[in-house]
Amino acid sequence: MALTGAGISTESGVPTFRGAEGLWRTYRPEDLATPEAFRRDPALVWEWYDWRRAKIAASRPNPGHEALARLENAKPCFTLVTQNVDGLHRLAGSRNLRELHGCIWNLRCVDCGEEREDRTVPLQPIPPRCACGGILRPGVVWFGEPVPMEVLQASMEEARACDLLLVVGTSAVVYPAAGVAHAAVQDGRSVIEINPDETPLTPHATVSLRGRAGAILPRICTSH
């Protein structure tokens, strides 16, 4: 099993949230990735997401994403849980995939709930409108919004039952996602963290490999 965060997409050119070049620094997303911000100023929130969609559209899966897709082919029981909304795991070929925080390519109507995938970059107009006249929002989970129950439940159960959990490219500060890693630790599972930096999970990991996902994952996943 693997749990990934924004760090696995860094080498694809997608900025992380809390790193030096992170999104949080320039766009204060904790003020933007919330339902309140969207209600207050949907156009501003959409400008940020449209900018991210353009950056993601220009990026490709990197060797880290590709290694996890190969691991799934070699081990059908392999499950990939991601906090990322960039869709790069799916693009790399991962299918047994749970997107805890949704996907930036999905749009959902705030009025009728209609949801569809839309990869248009840039979006015209901003904010985009539904056929019913309602405003469309990004199909992601914002701060203060619940992660879909069935996706979270399944991820927690798998973390408690897995042989090994790879925790890749996450600062392990956002919950309930980080709770998936702690569930594996609490149930005595082997946990390997892959991250250039230490995180709050590091002291609890069986092994913490201090390096980049794109360099380490191909070496772990090919040896199978």
Positions that interact with ligand BV8 (CB under 6 A): 5-8, 10-11, 16-19, 22, 33, 83-85, 101, 140-146, 168-171, 173-175, 194-197, 199, 212-214
Residues in the chain: 224
Which of 43, 54, 74, 132 is close enough to bind Zn ion by CB under 5 A? Answer: 132
CA distance 39 to 110: 10
Q: Residue 216 Cβ, how far from ligand BV8 at the closest point, in Å?
A: 8
112 binding partner (options ligand BV8, Zn ion, none; Cβ < 5 to 8 Å by kind): Zn ion
Between 16 and 79, name the residue whose CB sits nearer to ligand BV8.
16
Concatenating the DSSP letter of every residue in 144-179 gives: TSPPPHHHHHHHHHHHHH-SEEEEES--S-STTHHH
Q: Residue 107 Cβ, how far from Zn ion at the closest point, in Å?
A: 10
DSSP H helical ranges for the chain: 23-27, 29-32, 35-40, 42-57, 63-74, 88-92, 149-161, 177-186, 213-222
Number of residues that bind Zn ion (CB under 5 A): 7
Residue 13: DSSP 8-state: T
Within residues 90-119, the interface with Zn ion by CB under 5 A covers 109, 111-112, 114
The question of whether 89 is a catalytic residue gets the answer no
- The residues that are catalytic are 101
